[in-house]
Structures are given as C-alpha cells and as structure tokens.
Amino acid sequence: MKISSIIDEKEKRVAITPETTSKYLKLGLEVCLPRGYGESSGFSDAEYESAGAKICSEKVPDASLYLCVKPSDLKNLHLEKGSYLISMLLPFQNAEILKKMFDNGLNLCALEKIPRITRAQSMDVLSSQSNIAGYKAVIEAMNEYGRVIPLMMTAAGTVRPAKVLILGAGVAGLQAIATAKRMGAIVSAFDVRKVAKEQVESLGATFVEVDDDDNGESIGGYAKEMSEAYKKKQAEKLAEALSRSDIVVTTAQIPGKPAPRLITKEMVENMPSGAVIVDMAAENGGNCELTVPNQKISYNQVMIIGYTDFAARVAHDASQFFAKNVFNFVSLLWKNNKIDTSDEIIQATLIK
C-alpha cells in the first residue's frame, strides 16, 4: 500500500515528516512524495530519502492513501478512484464539492470531524494546530502593536504593561492567554462557557463574566449559540472591556455555523488609538464586523488582522504536530495489512 501527499502552493505545512515516514515504513506502508514536498516546512528531500521515502517527479504521485493538511483547490484535485484523502476538508463549507468527490469514487476522511473522546486525543489536529495558532496570533499582535508589552520601570520613567483581551477560551484562546502572560501583559479573557472561568484564572488572567444563568457549553464541550438576551448583556460587557484593551485576540467559533459576531464597528471606534485586533475566526466569517480575511487593515487607528494561516506561519513545528496526529489516525485505519474503517473514530470522519 502506497502513501503520498501533494504540494499545495497555498499551504506551508505538510502532513508527512521524515519522522513519520520511518513510522509508516514500520507499518508496512510505502511512502512516495513529490520532489520538494517538505521545503516550505524546512524538511529536505534528503531527509525524507534518509527516512526511507521515495522522491518522484510527479506533483501528485499515484497512491492509495493521500495525507494532506488542507487542500486549497478541491475542485481540481484529481486522485485515483478508490483512494483515500485524509485531510482537513472544511466539511461544512465544502459540503457540495465533497459530495461530488465521494460520488466519483473517492473515500474522504475529514479530520475536523474526529470525535472529542479520550481515545482520539492523539489524533486531534484541531487542538494541535489551534495551540500553535494561538501562540502565533499573540506574537503577530505584539509585533504590530509596536509598543512595550511588560511593565518597565526605569530612570527615564515607567511604561505600563499592555492590556490584552482574549475572546474565546478554547485551545487557541488558552494558549494565547499563556503566551501574553509570559510576555508580561495584563490579560483578561471572555468565554460563554462558564467552565472556562477556572481555566482562565488558572493561567493568571481575569475572567470577563456576563451576569446571566445561560451556560454556553454544548454537548461535546464546544460553544453554542446564545440567546438574544444574553447577546445584549454580552455586547455591553465586551464594549466596556474593549474600550480599555490594547491588544485583542478573538478565537470564538461555533461548529457548523458562521463565527459569532462579537466586535462591532462602534466598539472598534471606542478602542484606544494604536490598538490591535487579531481575528482568528476570519476564515469562518470573523468575530469582528470589520475583519477582511487574509488582510491587515486599519480603521480609526486600530489595526485589524484577519490572517487565516497562523499555524502555517510556524510551519515546521505545526507540521510535526499535524503529521503525528495523522500517523495515529492512519495506524487506526490500517489493520492487519489492510484498510479497516470499522472503528468509531474513522467512521465519524467519513464523508458519505
């Protein structure tokens, strides 16, 4: 059985590293990769060949299993009929094209659909990539902010620490909190899930709490859409917090739905001059009304960053995490020298 991947010019991360290449060989699988496959992530062809991979000239080698991060052009992706594509496929946004691919004989495993159960934690690409993305988002924000982050007391005067607000305390949000704290900022965070308060405070941040009995946690631990009454109280609380925040990182998402709108134009207009907003939900509609996906814009002297590739901006480490997640998934799929889709984790990811 042959494993391969593709080179995607819009994606710096890779789904197979030299380390996981050697592991696939031990499973009895052959690894064949296009020339220059790992260069964008800092992995050379020589490293792959040393690990046992075959390097070929085809951009998309023939294979039975294709492991990818997130193909940017599914419509023009021509793979062998009967083969498996294992990747982040944005199943809600790409439902129509994925159905056509399935009807044309491709087997599709959307890694976003891996269930949130203990046994699947080692395969959770969303968590591993969100972790790195949350870190990188804070670094990007602080670089754009252009002022000192920690408290500085010098003979020339005192500089107050920056005030950082994190909206959404999932994996990305918690990593953003931890990163901002390590940099010496005063950090506060908001989440609709009441269980997040303890997690936020354990990292040394202040929890911005809405006075309401509604709990925003759905089955599976994700955030749910809130009532209109809650949203009104939330908007008032966030407007107050935003008016005194220097850096804001938003991470709020609702599975299968557009990202919740948390920051309005009016809220931005009341933020301090020179403030920075990083909207990590830009790909799914954005948490800020003014966000433009994949762009950095200035409005009323507030910089709004809508990049959708934060994890890919740390491609080497993000690739290592992603590749290990995928290897654990394939190890579950490949049993007794054949593909076995009977496991509940595999079944949950299949596009049908």
Its domain, for residue 177, covers 132-309
Query: 325 and 258, same structural domain?
Result: no
Query: 244 and 166, same structural domain?
Result: yes
Query: 141 and 285, same structural domain?
Result: yes
Query: 326 and 274, same structural domain?
Result: no
In a domain? residue 269: yes
Domain count, the chain: 2
CA dist 347 and 113 (Å) reads 10
Question: What is the residue type of 280?
Answer: M
Query: 53 and 166, same structural domain?
Result: no
Query: 323 and 303, same structural domain?
Result: no
In a domain? residue 108: yes
Query: 332 and 266, same structural domain?
Result: no
The pTM score is: 0.91
Neighbours of 237 (CB within 10 A): 16
In a domain? residue 126: no
CA dist 167 and 54 (Å) reads 45
Query: 269 and 344, same structural domain?
Result: no
Burial pattern 255-288, b for ≥16 Cβ within 10 A else e, equals eeeebbbbbbeebbeebeeebbbbbbbbbbebbb
Q: Per-residue confidence of the chain (352 residues) as pLDDT tens digits?
A: 999 999 898 999 999 999 999 999 999 999 999 999 999 999 999 999 999 999 998 878 889 999 999 998 998 888 989 999 999 999 988 999 999 999 999 999 999 999 999 999 999 999 999 999 999 999 999 999 989 999 999 999 999 999 999 999 999 999 999 999 999 999 999 998 888 999 999 999 999 988 776 665 555 555 656 778 888 889 999 999 999 999 999 999 887 789 999 999 999 999 999 999 999 999 999 999 999 999 999 999 999 999 999 999 999 999 999 999 999 999 999 999 999 999 999 999 999 9
Query: 320 and 300, same structural domain?
Result: no
Pairing of β 206-208 and β 338-339 = unpaired
In a domain? residue 124: no
Query: 24 and 101, same structural domain?
Result: yes
**What six digits make up the tokens of 317?**
């480490």
The CATH number linked to 253 is 3.40.50.720
Query: 103 and 14, same structural domain?
Result: yes
| Residue 5, φ and ψ in degrees, nearest 5 | -155, -175
Query: 335 and 257, same structural domain?
Result: no
In a domain? residue 84: yes
In a domain? residue 119: no
In a domain? residue 325: yes
| Positions marked catalytic | 116, 121, 124, 127, 222
Nearest CA-CA partner of 280 in 241, 307, 314: 307
In a domain? residue 72: yes
CA dist 321 and 314 (Å) reads 11
First and final CA of the chain: distance in angstroms?
A: 23
**What six digits make up the tokens of 24?**
């696939």
